[in-house]
Structure 1
Amino acid sequence: MFRTTAILGVVAIAALPTCASAHEVLSLVDFLPALYATDGSVSYQHEIQRAVDAAAEERRPLLIPPLVYRVDETGIQLRSGTMLSMYGAQFLLDERRRRDGAVFVADGVTDVTLNGGEIAGRNDAWPDGVNIRGIHVRGASARIRIRDVWIHDLSSNGVGVFGSEDSPVRDVTISDAVIENCCNRYPDYLSSETWEEGSTREDQGLVACYYVDDFTVRGCRLEGSRSDGTHFYHCRRGQIIGNRIYRAKMGGYFLESCDEVIGTANIMRENGSRGTTIERGSRNCVFTGNTVAQSGREGLWAPDCVGMVVTSNVFELNGRKPNGAEPHQVWNANVTINQARHDPSDSPTADYLVADNIIRTSDAQVAAIRVDAGEDTSGIVIRGNVLRGENRTILVSGPRRGDVTTAANDAAILTATPPTTAAQDPASDEQ
């Protein structure tokens, strides 16, 4: 299907943002040939790149009209000052992709805004180890805004933001995104599946943030990940608010070695492993007002953290999968607090407040709340929780079980067991 520039010019003007007049906004139409395909049968990736470069240089918004655009994994390079309005536009990666890459790449840039648009892949046709992201932010980037995107069927992250310890990405907001059926394939711990060669941890997570400071992920639906729903690694001062994280192959909400991250008003349902993991030296993190239900393993696994607040959540019938045969594979409580076998942060498990939660547990689960208080455990307070279902046990074990305080938990059955030996330690280092 082909269309003339003059006809689409009318569409472009009609689709301008209300905050910008026609003369302020560049349109991709001005960079396309006079007669252009509208159905993705012809690639205009070169023309799109020219338009992005021109708009960024002039600090003007760029309108990408609602057409189908065929792109490849070499990607469109975003520049500092890029502002794209892409509502109704579809960026299509075909089944012939054979290399790693991304559709949009922001490398060491500032003041980038992406609004709208669909990125569609073919992970059903790509070979294992081909890792393609939707939006890839890296380097010393800052002030990044991503909103209203729909990203699906890719083989790496929908949105991946990757800084470094020396040069974190700063000030990132991802909002109102829908990301479905992306990421590499991650085998369940007890399955006979094989790992996908050529992929790495960075390919896990529909939204993945590594070394990101001052961030917000808000109002997104993240569904059907082939690995984890999210992964936040060494991130600081963040808010994860009002998201729906459903049916990931493995975990849902995942913080690793993060500081001062608040998660609230999120819903995690039917994720294949842990609904929520907060671990490996995370400090001063708050998890409040969330619903975690029907996870394959714990609703919350929280080892090796300091200053953890877990309040006013609903944990309902998590731990659907059976425990494994090994002592460290006891993972079907609604909430588990312990020390992992392998913790690179070498952090204690200290100063937790678990309060005012509603916890519904079945008789197939080992406990409503399980605390294995190892030698580096202290200051664990569990109070005011409402326990319902067939199993209302708070199970406390380990040599430092005296550092666990329980009080005023409605309908709770407190069970304190003898200290576990190192050989029996049920802690797990797996997410």
Structure 2
Amino acid sequence: MSTLALENSIVKDMALAQEGHLKIDWVEAHMPVLNQIRKQFEAEQPFKGLKVTISLHLEAKTAYLAKVVQAGGAEVTITGSNPLSTQDDVCAALVEDGVTVLAKYNPDPVEYKDFLIRALETKPDLIIDDGGDLVTILHSERPDLLATIRGGAEETTTGIIRLKALEKEGLLKLPMVAVNDAYCKYLFDNRYGTGQSVWDAVNRTTNLVVAGKTAVVVGYGWCGKGVAMRAKGLGAKVIVTEVDPIRAVEAHMDGFEVMPMTEAAKHGDFFVTVTGNRDVITGEHFDVMKDGAILCNAGHFDVEINKIELSSRASSIRTVRRNIEEYQLQDGRKVYILAEGRLVNLGAGDGHPAEIMDMTFALQAMSLKYVNDNYETIGSKVLNVPLEIDQQVARYKLESLGIQIDELSQEQITYLDSWTGHE
């Protein structure tokens, strides 16, 4: 165990480490793409002598990403990106592995913010962010900590929205790679990862059947597509609500009913919000919901379901099962919220499957290396993941599955590159 990591860390209980090691060992065995990258990093040491600060949902798969970055020579500090997604046993295990950890399950808001700031006060050279909390602190409260940072990578839609707002206003002070927008992220993580992990969490938390009920999916981006697809597979009738007319047409052609939330609210047994926006379920919707409606959120922040307006309509609020709050409304109806309206798949579950996060975290690791290799020339802007990195992750994934594909011949390449000879 690293004495320095132990001295600098704040975790709940180091006695939990053994269980955390078992969790990390399990995901390591199911993350072959990251294993391949770890071998490269161990040989090349791309982060030798550098400090890396990570803010992600702190569970076993994230822990293994931290160990892969550490294997590349970095001194790693990690904190959570959501109060309910941190797993204390994983935190303790990481400390034993020499990673500085500043995180506990369900800290109060002040403590949660303090962990983020402390992680930045290590003066990292590179960062990995999830939801934009690190970047927001750097650009608002602690710009003094920007000096050492070469750049970083952002995990999710919400964070990219915040980054692009900074960039649009000319305020962004470092290069950040938009990992969420890579093909190997949104096509697989957002769709298959979110689709499965949301319903895993709903099922294990409620112990109720989905088949034969109506699921309302709020938002039909890539996460919404996955949630709707899995709900259909579980036997639910699916309604989609959207503000984007193109996505609404797509949902219709995918076989789902499409209607405004004011109408969908009357029909839903389960509601899943996946918009990245605020107040998509509000008072007017609670007023018409069925008795027993179950609501959850799979967007990054707990603002999609307006709990203030729900509370104002409640005569009583109580916790009826772990991660289930019952709001009894003044007319006698009951509405339930899972995981306090926070990310349900991590607040009430283990997050995406290991094989899915294998690809996403491979993108994170390789994007971090890309920023470190190029930070002096790329400037302060939001960058797409380079296509060659995206494709390399896909190749590693195919190799791990034992799948081979065709390659273009030189004649085919020449044909595609030419504007003549297409008769």
**Richer in helix (by share):** 2
Higher relative contact order (CA 8 A, sep 6+): 2
Task: Normalising by structure 2, report the TM-score.
Answer: 0.24
**Richer in strand (by share):** 1
- Structure number with greater Rg is 1
